[in-house]
A and B are shown apart, each in its own frame.
Chain A
Amino acid sequence: GESVGLHLPTLSVQEGDNSIINCAYSNSASDYFIWYKQESGKGPQFIIDIRSNMDKRQGQRVTVLLNKTVKHLSLQIAATQPGDSAVYFCAAPGGSQGNLIFGKGTKLSVKP
């Protein structure tokens, strides 16, 4: 089955700096990955996704990189803002019911 995990439980960055959040996965057959942002007391919010036929995908201020060789993906946030403070989860389909399996989450704190 799939398991995803994050290297660091917390990340603190200065406003304006770039943030990098990492995620490792175990199932080399996984072909789709998603990053979610969860603010306190709210449900997960879709940020960006990537399929395994790509190495990189860019959105607005966010970039996801996928390294299939080492089964690792990262979320890069450019010019991090206070509003980016949240817990970030990587997720991948892999459950027996077609559900998503979530990583443990990284709490991003942005210092003004």
Chain B
Amino acid sequence: GAVVSQHPSRVICKSGTSVKIECRSLDFQATTMFWYRQFPKQSLMLMATSNEGSKATYEQGVEKDKFLINHASLTLSTLTVTSAHPEDSSFYICSAGASSLAADTQYFGPGTRLTVL
């Protein structure tokens, strides 16, 4: 199947700093990438949807100025957590879909564990 990577896999930062997480589709062009957040022992919750070359669509309650998303190419989307605080500590997971794949197919990255001190 298609492969999606994330970098870094784990990051620890100080409160107030910004952290960038990359999501890459390695062997296909991802027209759409989804960013999910998962708190411990909970399910995945969609944060935003990014489409290549256009602005991201954020879910209700997700601050677009805090969680900056850039989908500059068909293989890369980035999520930047600005001025991170301890409550932003979570597991961030991206998934990617493509028009070349089956309509409902999404491939997930391995996730990024963010810990804000």
Contact = CB atoms under 8 A, between A and B. Distances in A.
By secondary structure, the B interface counts as strand
Interface string A16-43: 0000000000000000101010000111
Size bin of chain A's contact surface: 20 to 34
Nearest to A31: B104
Contacts, number: 51
A26 to B, nearest CB: 15
A99 B110 contact: no
Size bin of chain B's contact surface: 20 to 34
Interface of B: 1, 4, 6, 32, 34, 42-46, 49, 57, 91, 93, 95, 97, 104, 106-111, 113
18 contacts: A32-B104, A43-B6, A43-B110, A44-B44, A44-B93, A44-B108, A49-B104, A97-B34, A97-B49, A98-B32, A98-B49, A99-B34, A99-B49, A100-B34, A102-B43, A104-B43, A105-B42, A105-B43
